[in-house]
Amino acid sequence: MTIDASNSTNAVPTKTVVLGITGCIAAYKSAEIVRGLQKAGVRVKVVMTEHATHFVDPVTFRSLTHEKVAVGLFDDPSDPIHHISLAQEADVMLLAPCTANMLAKIANGIADDLLSTTVLATTAPLVIAPAMNVHMYENPATRYNIGKLQIRGVHFVEAGTGYLACGDIGKGRLADVEDIVSATLSMLGVKRDLAGKHVMITAGPTVEPIDPVRYITNRSSGKTGYAIARAAFARGADVTLISGPVALQAPEGVSMVYVQTADEMLAAAQEAFKSADIGIFAAAVADMKPARAADHKLKKGSDDDQLSGIELVENPDILETLAANKGSRVVVGFAAETDNVIENAQKKLISKHADVIVANQVGEGMAFGTDDNEVWFIDDEDTEGLPRMSKANLADAILSKSLEFLS
């Protein structure tokens, strides 16, 4: 049986988001935000500042939304008070990206273009995802404006840290699209089927030290686990994400536990699993570790060449250990295989005491490090093949599958 993950169970077709886009290089990501909201069944209307049109042509958003794209106060002769009609249509007003200039306008009640007048006129909840240079973001004036708006009840999706368009490195880049979409859907009051549930997720690789400069690890990027955490939070869950070392931004609203080794991940998972309703074990835990980690760099070719004779021992099996005493908890395991994928996953389902195994073939551009994947769901009764899809869509499919086992 094949699951169609393109249709969201959380769709709210009657809701409208008015998306404001300001003049920032991150404006191109607004197209992804539109698509993310549309996948949840939300209608999107776009308002752009004049400066924003220099980064992305309004035709892009007109094509995506099948709606007029508003730019100027007087560019729609059929609607002479356009900022009022737009303000009244919004169930949520979202500004993404929002520049320091627009932040200052909103914080101080300045309304001198279509977007700022629409924001001032709306009574809908306001969500802002700022994006700017790190020094602009950290400037006391910007921090003061953000603080003023937060006091007024504006919800912020905090800027991320990383390499910025100007060449600086620091805080100020637009938050991940998934986090912006999730925050907006939450403000819309979308019905969430995991409300009141605690979902524990492990993600990424573990690293097992050989000496102070070397370690054993694998190619896991953590993208699937992080996508599941975002999706679970969007669906109302209390989420604990136990993460090995990855190069990913922490999902908004998620309780993060950072670990390095398999032993650390086991300890963290044991603690979180106590209160969990669903445990999703997406981490790629290293199978082996050195019996002893050296406290100094091991030298090759030395008289006592320890580097060529490292003794390895097995790591604890986190999935098997916790699932053995799962009680009423739902346990989802993962099987990354290069061959005999389904057969090996069926064996793992039994030996690990899991409710369902998410099986995937790795290698040749599949699974590790990619933004999409093709998997099978394997449980006691069935094997379900899913088409190749984005990891964001896959995350929702995994959560929906988990709910089938939740009593």
Give yes or no: 166 in active site: yes
Residue range 285-339, pLDDT digits in tens: 998 998 888 888 887 766 566 667 788 899 999 999 999 999 999 999 999 887 8
Hey, what are 241's tokens? 């994400």
Residue range 43-52, pLDDT digits in tens: 999 999 999 9
Is 83 exposed, middle or buried, given 0-12, 13-18 or 19+ CB atoms closer than 10 A?
buried
Q: 257 in helix, strand or coil?
A: strand
CATH 3.40.50.10300 location in the chain: 198-288+312-403
pLDDT of residue 17: 96
Domain 16-188, architecture per CATH: 3-Layer(aba) Sandwich (3.40)
Backbone angles phi, psi at 37, to 5 degrees: -70, -40
Contact 201, 211 (CB under 8 A): no
CATH 3.40.50.1950 location in the chain: 16-188
Contact 230, 392 (CB under 8 A): yes
- Neighbour tally for 13: CB within 10 Å: 9
Hey, what are 122's tokens? 């709306």
Residue range 166-180, pLDDT digits in tens: 777 888 889 999 899
The answer as to CATH 3.40.50.10300 being correct for domain 198-288+312-403 is: yes
pLDDT of residue 147: 95
Hey, what are 245's tokens? 């070392």
Instruction: Considering the candidates 59, 141, 165, 166, report the single residue annotated as catalytic.
Output: 166
pLDDT band with cut points at 50, 70 and 90 for residue 366: low
Instruction: Tell me the C-alpha to C-alpha distance, in Å, between residue 76 and each of 34, 111, 114, 240, 395.
Output: 22, 18, 11, 48, 41
Q: Which pairs from 368-376 meet CB under 8 Å and 24+ separation?
A: 368/218, 368/219, 368/220, 368/221, 368/284, 368/336, 369/219, 369/221, 369/223, 370/223, 371/223, 373/224, 376/341, 376/342, 376/345
Mean pLDDT score, 13-41: 89
Mean pLDDT score, 256-273: 97
